Structure 1
Amino acid sequence: MKHYLGIDIGTFESKGVLVDADGEIVASTAQPHKMIVPQPGWAEHRAREDWWDDFTFLSRKLLAESGVAPTAIAAIGASAIGPCMLPVDADGEPLTNAVLYGVDTRAAMEIAELTEWIGEAILLDRCGNALTSQSIGPKILWLKRNRPEIFAKAHRILTSTSYLVYRLTGAFVIDHYTAANFSPFYQIEEKTWSDALADDIIGLDRLPDLAWTTDIAGVVTARAAEETGLAPGTPVIAGTVDAAAEALSVGVLSSGDMMIMYGSTIFIIMITEARVRDPRLWYAPWLFPHQHAAMAGLATSGTLIHWFRDQFARDLDPSTSMQVLAAEAEQSPPGAKGLVVLPYFSGERTPIHDAKAKGVIFGLDLTHSRGDIYRAMLEGIACGTNHIIDTYAEAGQEPSAILAVGGGTKNRVWAQATSDISGRTQIVRAKTVGASYGDAFLAALAVGDVGPDSILQWNPVVSDFVADAANAEVYRRQYGIFRELYPKTRDLMERLGGHP
């Protein structure tokens, strides 16, 4: 029987699966790694150690545990956090740590300057997106200004998935969906690179070659086969960002379908009939020609949960600490006894796009417990998620179906609060392993072994989160305060600035 390998590199963990021709997972495994925060507002990974070493470890472990012969793998799909900025030399060797996606806000000055030089209206029209911390163009400019010696040596600027595909095949490629985050260099209508809006930052020949997600980028080289245990000559797809692969893994196929990904960040993707022009949301061509996607994401979600555990649950056994905190949150009532949290602990992405935004825990008194504060953190993330859903609706894009995926779906307080605050049902499918499963499906799709609708049979619906009307009033009050709290403290956040 044919098999398909899918590996995804996340912010804190990499995951891999081997899937058979019926969509059954025959082996799965994971490998943790760290996010490096050298200073406030920065977020980095080591590309070789955190991305490629994870990939080789997972591929070898999956082969060993499954007993599947490398030659039985018909195709390979990879995804990773994105968009990231990684300068590499002519041999594809990283020249510095990778600068991560929107959680890294170091290029705030470059974002402001490029927006002023080019004009927000022109950016939105030509690139589909306002410049934000999610954009790679300003980060390339930051590199040129602040690390000129590294910039000069950079043969290509890659993103995370591009680096994995290069290590597997020797090809420098990037899919259109990811490339749309390289504003101001990607032109939406033409679906090509252009320096028309910024011709003095970097040569276009130093960017990866463009491809569609299921295009075959190349085959596993002899060197990559030796490192990974895979068979030389195995097809490798161009791949995509983790969130896009995750959306496909739960059946986001048609206009109106929305995915909420509960991970290190909340990430939302909705397929739309036409291009959405709203500066609060991100736009990209979808994974396949003639489809469109509107995206949004919070800056800190699962990352905030990890931070809370590491700072305020040091007394707990790390192996069970998340379960204990979840139980404590269950003991706190909806509304967390009047606490409201702004989860802007790394600034915020959509819809406010404010790198200077700060985290706030509002309403504390001496009766509050750790469980109350933890629940308020979860509800704050849920409020931020609903703020995004409301933004879609205001842009004329009310979701027809919401599919939830990711590790956070196992945190019932978090997922249920999201449905209660939004008043919307979230559908959960049988396999919530996420992007790596989507990668395996994309690999099967690329070699013609399945059609797009096959994912509905591979991964059927098993449950849902339905809004509880009994909690509507308390959450209406909480969400109203949440929406007022940021505008009333924004000026103070800017005055506070960073650490002295």
Structure 2
Amino acid sequence: MTHTLGIDIGTFETKGVLVAHDGTITATATRPHKMLVPRPGWAEHRAEEDWWGDFVHVTKALLAQSGIDPRDIKAVAASAIGPCMLPVDSAGKPLMNGVLYGVDTRATAQIAALNAAIGEDVILERCGNALTSQSVGPKILWLKETHPDLFAHTAKVLTSTSYLTWKLTGEYVIDHYTAANFSPLYDVTRQDWTADLADILPLGRLPRLMWSTGIAGQITTAAASETGLAEGTPVTCGTIDAAAEAVSVGVARPGEMMLMYGSTIFIIQVTANPVRDPRLWYAPWLFPGQHASMAGLATSGTLTHWFRDQLARDTDFATLAAEAAGSPKGAKGLLCLPYFSGERTPIHDPNAKGSFFGLDLTHTRADLYRAVLEGIAMGTAHVFETCAEVGASPALVRAVGGGTKNALWLQATSDLCGAVQEVCDKTIGASYGDAFLAALAIGAVAESDIAKWNPVGSRVMPERVTAYERQYPLWKQLYRQTRDIAHALSDAD
């Protein structure tokens, strides 16, 4: 039986899957890695070890586990965290660690400088996005200004998926969906690179633009030797992990939204027309003529990991969730601002700080953990509220990711957002979406076949919660009234 291979590089783990053309999963494999935080506000991966090393390891594991002939893998698609900033030399060798997506806030000064030089309204109109910590352009400018020696040797600036595709095929490519995050270097109306707004780097140092399901090239002899894949196997352009995750649960039509519970909450809604609002992100969707509106929190699964590692090292997540289920909704009046790495949408404040507010001597670890989950859910509700304000409330919400295993987190999110969440049978995520995109790229499936690959298995219905109706407005007020203190603490750092 013929198969496609999907590999996804996440913030803390790489997942891979071999899928038959009817959607049956033949083999899965994972490999953990770490997010490096060399200083507050920075977030990095090692491109060769964490991205390519994981790809090779997981691919070999899948081949060994399945026992299939590599020639029966008819196409390969990869996704990865993004947008990232990785400078490479003329031989494609990384010149530094990969600078991660919006959780890395090192380019705050460059964002301010570009806004002042170009104008925020001009950037929003031309790029479809305000400059935020998610934008790659300011991070390239940070490299140029702070490491001129490295910048002088930079032949290409890649993102995580671009690096993988280059390692597999020898081609430097990037999909339009990812490229839209390179503001102010991408013009969303022309759907092309632009140097009109800022002289950050020569455009020849950026990858070639493609659509996500375009065939970028074939597995090279060197890549075949390292991975065990068959030389000549087609490789797609690839995309960001969240987009592949949306594909994996059938988000395809305007009004359909993916709510991804991962290291961060990430939201993608397909829209009929571009939504340009500085509080959200915009990009062309994976296919020509389609659009997407995005949002993301800075800390979600990463915050639950922090809580366990610092306050519950003797406990697993299942036990923590069971404890928190014994705490009443509203966590006995406890509020948590989940801004432990600043915040992305909708406030775009890299200097925001995390906090617990309302503590007294009756609160327990269970209350604290419930407050963490409810704080993340309130951050998600803030995004839903913003979508409603710009006329883009979702008609359908599909939940996906590791956090869907946490029933308390799911229910709190439905309650606070007032949304029905559909959970598909397979929640493996982006790697499964990659396998589908690879099959789509070679004509083995139609776009509508994802409903057969991954049907809806359950729904989470919202409930009215009096405690949330009282506490959510206070949660928003808590940020507003402590913002100056948080910024002063950042200045002291």
Query: Which secondary structure does the structure 1 equivalent of 2:328 belong to?
Result: coil
2:39 aligned partner, one-letter code: Q
Q: Deviations over 1:413-456 (max 9, x none)?
A: 11110001111100000010000000000000000111111001
Q: Does residue 476 of structure 2 align to residue 483 of structure 1?
A: yes
1:411 to 379, 389, 406: 406
Query: Which secondary structure does the structure 2 equivalent of 1:497 belong to?
Result: helix
Q: Does residue 441 of structure 2 align to residue 442 of structure 1?
A: no
Q: Does residue 357 of structure 2 align to residue 362 of structure 1?
A: yes
User: What is the match of residue 488 of structure 2?
Assistant: 495
Q: Deviations over 1:246-288 (max 9, x none)?
A: 0011010100000000000000000001011111110000000
User: What is the match of residue 264 of structure 1?
Assistant: 263
Partners of 2:492 and 2:355 in 1: CA distance: 16
Q: Does residue 73 of structure 2 align to residue 73 of structure 1?
A: yes
Q: Does residue 202 of structure 2 align to residue 203 of structure 1?
A: yes
Query: Which secondary structure does the structure 1 equivalent of 2:282 belong to?
Result: strand
Partners of 2:90 and 2:116 in 1: CA distance: 34
Partners of 2:314 and 2:212 in 1: CA distance: 45
TM-score when normalising by structure 2: 0.99
Q: 1:266-345, aligned counterparts within 5 Å?
A: 266-316=265-315, 321-345=316-340
2:485 aligned partner, one-letter code: L
1:22–1:309 Cα change, 3 Å = same
1:499–1:66 Cα change, 3 Å = farther
Partners of 2:231 and 2:361 in 1: CA distance: 63
Partners of 2:437 and 2:314 in 1: CA distance: 43
Q: 1:68-467, aligned counterparts within 5 Å?
A: 68-199=68-199, 201-316=200-315, 321-467=316-462
Partners of 2:329 and 2:312 in 1: CA distance: 21
Partners of 2:74 and 2:137 in 1: CA distance: 36
Q: Deviations over 1:20-77 (max 9, x none)?
A: 0110111011100000000100000000110001000000000110111100001001
Q: Deviations over 1:463-493 (max 9, x none)?
A: 0111123xx2111112111111111111111
The aligned length equals 493
Partners of 1:218 and 1:498 in 2: CA distance: 48
User: What is the match of residue 467 of structure 2?
Assistant: 474
Q: How far does residue 496 in structure 1 lie from its aligned partner after superposition?
A: 1.4
Q: Deviations over 1:376-396 (max 9, x none)?
A: 000000000010011011000
Partners of 1:465 and 1:191 in 2: CA distance: 38
1:300 aligned partner, one-letter code: T
Query: Which secondary structure does the structure 2 equivalent of 1:495 belong to?
Result: helix
Partners of 1:183 and 1:277 in 2: CA distance: 13
Cα pair 1:382 1:418 within 8 Å, conserved: yes
Q: Deviations over 1:3-22 (max 9, x none)?
A: 00000000000000000011
Cα pair 1:266 1:299 within 8 Å, conserved: yes
Q: Deviations over 1:336-387 (max 9, x none)?
A: 1111111011110000000110001110011111111011000000000010
Q: How far does residue 499 in structure 1 lie from its aligned partner after superposition?
A: 5.8
Cα pair 1:218 1:236 within 8 Å, conserved: yes
Partners of 2:264 and 2:491 in 1: CA distance: 22
Q: How far does residue 325 in structure 1 lie from its aligned partner after superposition?
A: 1.0
Q: How far does residue 149 in structure 1 lie from its aligned partner after superposition?
A: 1.0
Partners of 1:226 and 1:323 in 2: CA distance: 41
Which stretches in structure 2 are left out of the alignment for 5+ residues? Answer: none
1:353 aligned partner, one-letter code: H
Q: Deviations over 1:302-360 (max 9, x none)?
A: 011111111111233xxxx1111111111111111111111011110000000110001
2:241 aligned partner, one-letter code: D
Point out 4+ residue stretches in structure 1 off by more than 6 angstroms. none
1:41 aligned partner, one-letter code: G
Cα pair 1:299 1:344 within 8 Å, conserved: yes
Q: Deviations over 1:207-239 (max 9, x none)?
A: 111000000000000000010010000000000
Partners of 2:342 and 2:455 in 1: CA distance: 37
Query: Which secondary structure does the structure 2 equivalent of 1:109 belong to?
Result: helix
Partners of 2:2 and 2:123 in 1: CA distance: 45
1:344 aligned partner, one-letter code: Y
Q: How far does residue 498 in structure 1 lie from its aligned partner after superposition?
A: 5.4
Which stretches in structure 1 are left out of the alignment for 5+ residues? Answer: none
2:57 aligned partner, one-letter code: F
Query: Which secondary structure does the structure 1 equivalent of 2:279 belong to?
Result: coil
Partners of 1:122 and 1:235 in 2: CA distance: 40
TM-score when normalising by structure 1: 0.98
Cα pair 1:135 1:182 within 8 Å, conserved: yes
Percentage identity across paired residues of the two chains: 64
Query: Which secondary structure does the structure 1 equivalent of 2:393 belong to?
Result: coil
1:169 aligned partner, one-letter code: T
Cα pair 1:246 1:405 within 8 Å, conserved: yes
Partners of 1:71 and 1:79 in 2: CA distance: 22
Q: 1:11-22, aligned counterparts within 5 Å?
A: 11-22=11-22
Partners of 2:490 and 2:159 in 1: CA distance: 29
Cα pair 1:40 1:498 within 8 Å, conserved: no
